[in-house]
Amino acid sequence: AYADVNFARGAHPAVTVVPALLALGERVKASGRLFIESFVAGYETSGRVGRLVAPSHYQKGFHVTGTVGSFAATAAAGRMLGLTDEQLAVAFGIAATQAAGLKSNFGTMCKPLHAGTASEHGLRAARLAARGFTARGDSLECDQGFASSQSSHLSVDAALGEPPRGWHLRNNLFKYHAACYLTHAPIECAKEIRLKSNFPPERVQKILLRIDSGADKVCNIPHPTTGLEAKFSLRQTVAMALTGVDTANLDSYTEAVTQEPRIKALRDKISIDFKPNWEHSLAEMAIQLDDGTTIEATHDSGIPWPDLKKQRQAIETKFDSLVTPLLGATGARRLHDAIERVDGLIDIGDLARASAKN
């Protein structure tokens, strides 16, 4: 998901919550304020359910955006529909029996499909519960329920405890590269080294990348052959950054770029030292040139930007680059304006309609 990430094991919360709320909100003519309240409910649920089953759920091979994201979308849609506590518990039971997603499908079209199906599952679960459909109200935590069948340890205290900074939402991280988030710190290292040294790629003798061992089973496709595989290849994304390819541009991830000779040559020079129990958002890089010079860089992509003004500018730049090609300059500005005044919208359908191509 080229959107956001949260390391409380909520994966990419917004991508499962927002589509469900836009669809439901347009149908029931929800206000912008209710949309925001429902979004927060979904986002916080993602963090808490994610913490409940972390870390073994992800380590077993489940894709958290698809699984935990189903509960996030359910909570969001349930809040918008005004479900009672009993109805919401049933909705969680309906979501629990649908929640799915496997990490083994990273690098294929199924990976983004997980986000869409999670949104669909949550919306369906809330609407069915509102109409009296039945499911166990304790399906999240019961024996043979979601948590016990998909995690080897339930971290109840972590799930119920107060998150850092009070809310999971305050620990949200935005993505500025159109690849797996675990590639972002290495990309930033490569960009920093390229910026301060400006050497031609042909001078590189070898590259050593140090990163948490968890990345090995997430984004370590050594020889990608498709654009989707490129997004989950540490070597490919580092090579792209070192050769000046725009890693923020969705169109940069193609079959052609995986076969580009300079990029393939750099990929083959990269050694990865997977460090057990490292900070999963941290990367260190050392590049040795043909004259023996070694250039190093370190980056931690898990720290929220302290400069909110600068972050806003980066988000708006990303928005323009993604939306303008689809809606045109006028349409992009119309959608931007609708987002800016979302809390005052009488009908959130105005936002949904602003996002549609004329």
User: Residue 84's pLDDT is what?
Assistant: 99
Q: Which two tokens stand for residue 178?
A: 């159109």
User: Residue 10's pLDDT is what?
Assistant: 61
pLDDT band at residue 260 using 50, 70 and 90 as cut-offs: very high
Are 159 and 153 in contact by the 8 Å Cβ rule? The answer is: no
Q: Above 90 in pLDDT, residue 340?
A: yes
User: Residue 306's pLDDT is what?
Assistant: 84
Average pLDDT for residues 182-208, to the nearest whole number? 96
Q: Which two tokens stand for residue 47?
A: 């963090």
Q: Above 80 in pLDDT, residue 276?
A: yes
User: Residue 16's pLDDT is what?
Assistant: 97
More confident residue, 104 or 9: 104
Domains of the chain: 4-172 (1.10.4100.10), 181-300 (3.30.1330.120), 305-358 (no CATH)
- The pairs formed by 304-307 with CB atoms below 8 angstroms and a separation of 24 or more are 304/170, 304/171, 304/172, 304/173
Beta strands in the chain (DSSP E): 4-5, 173-174, 204-212, 270-275, 282-289, 294-300
pLDDT band at residue 217 using 50, 70 and 90 as cut-offs: very high
User: Residue 301's pLDDT is what?
Assistant: 96
Average pLDDT for residues 183-200, to the nearest whole number? 96
pLDDT band at residue 190 using 50, 70 and 90 as cut-offs: very high
How far is Cα 315 from Cα 329, in angstroms, rounded to an integer? 16
Percent above pLDDT 90 for the chain: 94
Average pLDDT for residues 217-231, to the nearest whole number? 97
DSSP annotation of 162: P
Percent above pLDDT 70 for the chain: 99
Q: What is the mean pLDDT of the chain?
A: 96
- Residue bearing tokens 């990029």: 263
User: Residue 7's pLDDT is what?
Assistant: 86
- At CA 214, angle to CA 117 and CA 75, rounded to 5? 30
How far is Cα 263 from Cα 109, in angstroms, rounded to an integer? 24
